[in-house]
Structure 1
Amino acid sequence: MSAETDLIRLYSGRILALAADMQRTTRLDNPTATAKKRSPLCGSTVTVDITVQEGVITDYGQDVKACALGQAAASVIGANIVGCTLSQVRQGRDELYAMLKSDGSAPSAPFIELEVLQPAKDYKNRHASILLAFDATLDAVQEAQASA
């Protein structure tokens, strides 16, 4: 397969649809915590606001400036993160990382739709952008836990 064909496969219609329909793109007025992450390789950034009550994310907002892959990941995360415990967020991030880096399985529910990003495992330069929304969320979670 040529590199051009591989890129076309990577940017599938499903990935582009997720990127175009990103969830929870309004920043929160009074979050429990906020975090911003930037990928030094590509310059993508994600800023995340979370509200946490009794260890559960009750509200979520994000500002995503990333490639379609990063946007697709943020879309799935934004659509599914409210109601998640902090350990579910960590598990989702760990499973996405394993899928990209060590040929692991697709993340489990509620982040199962991230499986659409499996073809990106062959594009190591895109991994940081794909992980940004989870990484920013985990930084916000740590901030929320520190202030609790």
Structure 2
Amino acid sequence: MSDSDLMKLYSQRILALAADMPLTEPLPAPDMQAEARAPLCGSTIKVQLAVQDGRITGYAQEVHACALGQASASVFGARVIGCTRAQVAQLRDELEAMLKGGPVPAAPFGDYEVLTAARDYPNRHASILLPPTAVLKAWPDPS
């Protein structure tokens, strides 16, 4: 990867998101928790969830990832409270599609637009997908 490619990929906005990650304090009594790892780069995330009436009411994340994974966790953490499992699954599908050239995920996750520059770097996609992947791992599908 050339220096200009790195500059394009790691924009100021991505770096600012990575530096301002929300919801990093552990939950006192999580209902669910899981860890996910991106095999190519080794990025990891541990998540804790509190769920009431089918919606996320509490969320905590411990992220050890590149700036792209951190930016993804920042966007996710800022919008995940109130989401249902179905909405998180939809986000994961939309985010994966966006990274393959599709549209940016629907509201409230439109801020993922900042990561469209990562489309050309498939080895980074798993790190970006870590937050919703970990939540879905923690929160089994009831069907």
TM-score normalised by L of structure 2: 0.95
Question: Which stretches of structure 1, 4 residues or longer, exceed 2 Å deviation after superposition?
Answer: none
1:78 — aligned with what?
A: 77
The alignment partner of 2:42 has SS state of: coil
Identity of aligned residues (%): 57
Superposed CA offset, 1:94-116 (max 9, x none): 11000012x11001111110110
Structure 2: gaps (5+ residues): none
1:111 — aligned with what?
A: 109
2:60 — aligned with what?
A: 61
1:26 and 1:92 mapped to 2: Cα distance? 23
Match of 2:128 among 105, 108, 130: 130
The offset of 1:85, in angstroms, is: 1.4
The offset of 1:74, in angstroms, is: 0.2
The offset of 1:140, in angstroms, is: 1.1
Answer yes or no: is 1:5 the counterpart of 2:4: yes
Structure 1: gaps (5+ residues): none
The within-5 A match list for 1:89-104 is 89-101=88-100, 103-104=101-102
Aligned-residue Cα RMSD (Å) equals 1.4
1:46 and 1:55 mapped to 2: Cα distance? 22
The alignment partner of 2:47 has SS state of: strand
The alignment partner of 1:27 has SS state of: coil
1:85 and 1:31 mapped to 2: Cα distance? 16
Q: Which is helix-richer, 1 or 2?
A: 1
Superposed CA offset, 1:44-98 (max 9, x none): 1100000111110000000000000000000010010001111111111111000
1:139 — aligned with what?
A: 137
TM-score normalised by L of structure 1: 0.92
